[in-house]
A and B are shown apart, each in its own frame.
Chain A
Amino acid sequence: MEHTRRDFLTTGASGLGVAWLATRMPLFEATARLAHDSRASGAFTVLTPEEAAELEAVAETIIPAVDDLPGAKDAGVIHFIDRAFETFQAGGLGAAREGLAGLQERVEARFPGAGPFSRLSGPRRAEVLREVENGGFFGTMRFLTVAGMFSMPSYGGNEGKLGWKLLGFEDRFAWQPPFGYYDAQVNRG
């Protein structure tokens, strides 16, 4: 849990909100534990390890780690994707498998013997993905990568809240002014 109970009580929330947050702490903590447990096993539910490795490479090409920023792999987005294909995206698993097979054929055609996709260098991966970026497989993978990067960690992705760190979003849910540079400037007079 990134924000401790003490953080919650001292980050400026006033009066009733603080008392109310205190009553909610057990819930926040339970949610965080649940999220941690679900990834600790490392196993996938619907994806094979090979499929997971390939789809993770696709996700990492969509949101790569650049500069010192976290990427989709750092944030464990593949675990979100696995769970999505088990639940709300279950109807799309077959199409995703077909899409992945099609992608590997393109890898083989463009870089014979260099595949599968996950073994390619970053620029080569991007080159192959650019060929399919207007297709359904890529659209699904982009949506799932973004959703897995920025949804609550309890869904399996956004591990360590790294997706939110990429954005600069903080899940404190209780703030006091100043909120940003420009209102701080005005309030200082």
Chain B
Amino acid sequence: MASRRALVKRALGIQRTGAAPPTRFAERQEVDFVIVGCGTAGGILAKQLSTRGFSVVVLEQGPYLRAADFGHDELSTFVTDTPLTGSPQDFPQTFRTTEDEEPRPGGGFAGGVFYARMVGGSSAHFTGNMWRFRPIDFHERSLFGAVPGANLADWPVTYEELEPYYTQAEWEMGISGAPGPNDPPRSRGYPMPPLPIKSSGVLLERGARAAGFTSQPAPMAILSRAYRDRPPCQHCGFCLAFPCEYNAKSSTLVAMVPLAEATGRCEIRPHSTVFRVELDDAGRAKQVVYYDAEGVEHAQAARAVILSANGAETSRLLLMSESSRFPDGLANSSGYVGKHLMFNAISACHALFDEPLNEFKSVQVTRIVMDFYDSDPARGFYGGGGIDARWLHFPIMFGLGGLPSDAPSWGPEYARMLSEYFNRTMDINGHCTSLPLERNNITLDPTVKDKWGLPAIRTTYLDHPDDMAMKTFLQDRGMEILEGAGARRAWRDPVVPETLGAHLLGTARMGKDPATSVVDEHHRTHDVPNLFLCDGSSFVTSGRGQPTLTIMALAFRAGEHIAGFAERGEI
């Protein structure tokens, strides 16, 4: 056990194990791997490949921040500066529901895609939900059959193949939880017990029991006890959209990147915005070209290139890397790059209780209901999902929209209700499937450019009718839970099509057939033998609403396979 002083220093991010200076590769030096994006997948791949002896440069467009840089500034995080998610001025986006519609400005909460630009990526600012997929997720096309209008397909991997990597992810990242009644098979328990239950969790359990459902502890990427030199959660309450000031959230920033750097073979290069992957004459990836913080152009050569930039940015980079060999975008002979974007669909309901819950304390989620995971043909539509009790509102957000829609929005009664409701309200979310649709996609906006002059991301997205039906189905179950829990009153948010996605899935799907997929079952592109894509883009289906653990498991598995290919000279 390290000394307390050492632990505190580590928590502050000021210690470098072994006191070795950070690795820096010379400008023109070719490395074994260049990874684009140091997020959920990129951070894991950096650690997996560097610990296997390979030289790795990770290019991250955002900054390299440490625990001491993080706080609880709701105004800056969501409204004024949005330092982690990109300001709409610097990084404009456009959004439309279908290609017949004129794109409107997106970005921020206006619509489009939402992700953290920083070392650690969205694993640093996410809520921390760590649901495993289940066996059915990987072969639902065979189980359920075709869904009209959708391009539902089986994965080229099974749950059984991925299971060891789920376990590896849970243990190496540091996940708290306990097996529940509806869990998929697992080879090992969780490395630590669940976080303490909140009042919303108690009420979810109570309501679920009354309604005849089963509840279970939520698996979270947040430490319930000290683990691998990181301190346990202090229950500050600011997980969603806030990186952890205690290093208790199990992001790749704190769980993977330090291990990669400690090898002396991995350089994390922040403020590096890759805008092109270049090929040699033989059609192999040769180097990536990027801008540094000042906008100066650089190139990083590598024997193999891995894109882990997220489902939106990986698509954008491939589309920006078109050439005479790949006129529709790099590795896009299938035409599938950017298509089949899946956000996961969400519905919400809320309730007021008689006594204080104080939901502003501690993590967002402590209990979940997984009884509706499987698709059930008896419902009359495709889809499945999970329900969680959570807290969605920080103070400003609550003031702006936390009260029921029939409540006054200003004046004396508004003030009274703010005071009465803030600590007595809880939220329930239904999280569910999004069908893969060709019409839902990432493309390059033909006119709008970002601060580097690069084409802005244009998102086209409209839920399938079955996604809408599943959202409503889960909201109905959520209302039953809240009423069963004894709510004084419960109310629903309108069920509307998703316009803003934080889960960026499916845009370079994996598959065995090069005509209908972008990467093979080992994340190697069908078109370019030394180009790999590993992040949410690899997903074939969306899962039930919490994709991060599956992105992590895929990355651990990809790291294993890619390292094997490299060692055997098969890249």
* Residues in A lying within 8 Å of B, measured CB to CB: 13-17, 19-21, 23-24, 61-67, 69, 71, 87-88, 126, 129, 133, 142-143, 146-147, 149-152, 155, 163-164, 166-171, 173-177, 179-183, 185-186
- Please determine whether A16 and B238 come into contact, CB atoms closer than 8 angstroms: no
Additional A-B contact list (11), CB under 8 Å, known A16-B246, A63-B410: A20-B234, A63-B415, A64-B411, A147-B399, A170-B360, A173-B238, A174-B234, A175-B361, A176-B235, A180-B356, A183-B196
Q: Are A185 and B399 in contact (CB under 8 A)?
A: no
- Scoring B residues 388 to 424 as 1 if CB is less than 8 Å from chain A, else 0, what string do you get? 0000000110111000000001111011101100110
CB-defined contacts of A15 to chain B, threshold 8 Å: 226, 231-232
**A48 CA to B353 CA in the complex, in Å?**
45
**Would A168 and B423 count as touching, CB distance under 8 A?**
yes
A179–B415 touching, CB < 8 Å: no
B355 at the interface (CB under 8 A from A): yes
Binary per-residue interface labels of chain B (352-364) against chain A in the complex, 1 for a CB within 8 Å, 0 otherwise? 0101111111100
26 A-B Cβ contacts within 8 A?
A: A15-B226, A17-B234, A19-B4, A20-B12, A62-B410, A88-B80, A129-B410, A142-B410, A143-B400, A147-B75, A150-B395, A152-B73, A167-B398, A167-B418, A168-B423, A169-B422, A171-B72, A174-B235, A175-B235, A175-B362, A177-B197, A177-B362, A179-B199, A180-B423, A182-B202, A183-B199
Q: In the complex, are the beta carbons of B416 and A16 less than 8 A apart?
A: no
Residue of B356, B359, B412 with highest tally of chain A CB at under 10 A: B412
Shortest CB distance A112–B (Å): 24
CA distance A179 to B236 in the complex (A): 11
Q: Contact at A147–B353, with CB atoms within 8 Å?
A: no
CB-CB under 8 A from B410, the residues of chain A are 61-63, 129, 133, 142
Is B435 at the interface (CB under 8 A from chain A)? no
**Best-surrounded residue of A61, A171, A175 (most CB of chain B within 10 A):** A175
Task: Tell yes or no: B201 within 8 A of A by CB.
Answer: yes
Assess whether B79 is interfacial by the CB under 8 Å rule.
Answer: yes
Instruction: Given the known inter-chain contacts A20-B11, A23-B8, A71-B415, please indicate yes or no for A151 contacting B199, CB distance below 8 A.
Output: no
* Residues from chain B with Cβ under 8 Å of A63 in the complex: 410, 414-415, 418
A168:B235 contact, CB within 8 angstroms: no
Partner of B4, one of A16, A87, A170, A176: A16
Residue of A nearest to B398 (CB): A167
Residues of chain A contacted by B418 (CB below 8 angstroms): 63, 166-167
Of all chain B residues, the one with the shortest Cβ separation from A155 is: B75
CB distance from A145 to the nearest CB of B (A): 8
> A182, B400: Cβ atoms under 8 Å?
no
Contact residues of B: prevailing secondary structure: loop
Q: Once the chains bind, are B412 and A64 in contact (CB under 8 Å)?
A: yes
Q: How many A-B residue pairs have CB under 8 A?
A: 165
Closest Cβ–Cβ distance, residue B82 to chain A (whole Å): 11
Write out the residue numbers on chain A whose beta carbons fall within 8 Å of the beta carbon of B359: 179-180
Which A residues are in CB contact (< 8 Å) with B555? none
Contact pick for B396, options A14, A23, A126, A146, CB 8 Å? A146
User: Which residues of chain B are within 8 angstroms of A66 by Cβ–Cβ distance?
Assistant: 412, 415-416
Known: A19-B4, A146-B399. A69 touches B415 (CB 8 A): yes
Q: In whole Å, how far is A156's beta carbon from the nearest beta carbon of chain B?
A: 11
- Taken together as a complex, chains A and B put the C-alpha atoms of A90 and B8 apart, in Å, by 41
Which residues of chain A have C-beta atoms less than 8 A from B269's C-beta? none
Beyond A17-B246, A151-B75, is A180–B355 a contact (Cβ under 8 Å)?
Answer: yes
Per-residue contact bits, chain B 1-35, to A (CB 8 Å; 1 contact, 0 not) = 00010011001100000000000000000000000
B74 in the interface, Cβ–Cβ < 8 Å? yes
Q: Kindly identify which residue among A21, A147, A151, A179 contacts B358, using a CB–CB cutoff of 8 Å.
A: A179
Residues of A within 8 A of B358 (CB): 168, 179-180
**CB contact under 8 A between A182 and B355, given known A17-B231, A88-B79:** yes
Please determine whether A69 and B416 come into contact, CB atoms closer than 8 angstroms.
yes
Chain B residues with CB below 8 A from A143, complex form: 400
In the complex, the answer to whether B399 meets A150 with C-beta atoms within 8 Å is yes
Contacting pair B232 A17 (CB below 8 A): yes
In the assembled complex, how far is the CB of residue A16 from the closest CB belonging to chain B, in whole angstroms? 3
List the A side residues contacting B360 at CB < 8 Å.
Answer: 169-170
The reply to whether B234 and A175 form a contact with Cβ atoms under 8 Å apart is yes
Which residues of chain A have C-beta atoms less than 8 A from B73's C-beta?
151-152
Across the interface, B246 reaches (CB within 8 A) one of A20, A67, A171, A179, namely A20
Instruction: Please give, as numbers and ranges, the residues of chain B lying within 8 Å of A179 by CB-CB distance.
Output: 196, 198-199, 235, 357-359, 361-362
Q: Would A14 and B75 be within 8 Å (CB), given that A175-B361, A183-B199 are in contact?
A: no
| Nearest CB in chain B to that of A22: its residue | B8
CB neighbours of A69 from chain B (8 A): 415-416, 419
B198 and A151 contacting across the interface, CB-CB below 8 Å: no
Q: Tell me, yes or no, whether B237 is within 8 Å of chain A by CB.
A: yes
| A19 partner residues in chain B, CB cutoff 8 A | 4, 7-8
Q: Which of A19, A24, A181 has the most CB of B within 10 A?
A: A181
Nearest chain B CB to A26's CB is how many angstroms away?
Answer: 12
Do the beta carbons of A146 and B202 come within 8 Å of each other? no
Q: Which residues of B contact A61 (CB under 8 A)?
A: 410-411
Our pick among B231, B234, B357 for the contact of A180 (Cβ within 8 Å) is B357
Which A residues are in CB contact (< 8 Å) with B423?
167-169, 180
**B481 is an interface residue with CB less than 8 A from chain A:** no
Q: Which residues of B contact A67 (CB under 8 A)?
A: 416
B428 smallest CB distance to A (angstroms): 15
B245 cross-chain contacts in A, Cβ below 8 A: 24, 173
A182 touching B422 by the CB < 8 A rule? Answer: no
The answer, yes or no, to whether B203 is at the interface (CB within 8 Å) is yes
Q: A174-B234, A182-B355 are in contact. Are A168 and B11 (CB under 8 A)?
A: no
Q: Which of A126, A147, A180 contacts B79 (CB 8 A)?
A: A147
Cα-based distance from A166 to B419 in the complex (angstroms): 5
Q: What CA separation (Å) do A95 and B533 show in the bound complex? A: 48
Q: Are A186 and B72 closer than 8 Å at their CB atoms?
A: no
Mask, B326-360, CB within 8 Å of A = 1, is 00000000000000000000000000010111111
Q: Once the chains are docked, how many angstroms separate the CA of A20 from the CA of B74?
A: 22
Roughly how many angstroms separate A61 CA and B412 CA in the complex, as a whole number?
8
Contact among B201, B232, B399, B422 with A14 in the assembled complex (CB-CB below 8 Å)? B232
CA distance A65 to B414 in the complex (A): 11
Inter-chain CA distance A186–B201, complex, in Å, is: 11
* Chain A residue nearest in CB terms to B423: A168
User: Whose C-beta in chain B lies nearest to the C-beta of A88?
Assistant: B80
CB A140 to nearest CB in B, in angstroms, measures 13
Closest to A138 in B: B410
Of residues 536 to 562 in B, which have CB atoms within 8 Å of A's CB atoms? none
Tell whether, in the assembled complex, residue A146 and residue B357 are in contact, meaning their CB atoms are under 8 Å apart: no
Contact of B411 among A87, A126, A151, A176 (CB under 8 A): A126
Q: Which residues of A contact B72 (CB under 8 A)?
A: 152, 171, 173
A64 CA to B411 CA, complexed, in Å: 6
Closest residue of B by beta carbon distance from A129 = B410
Which residues of the partner chain B approach A129 to less than 8 Å between Cβ atoms?
A: 410
From residue B211, how far is it (CB to closest CB) to chain A in Å? 17
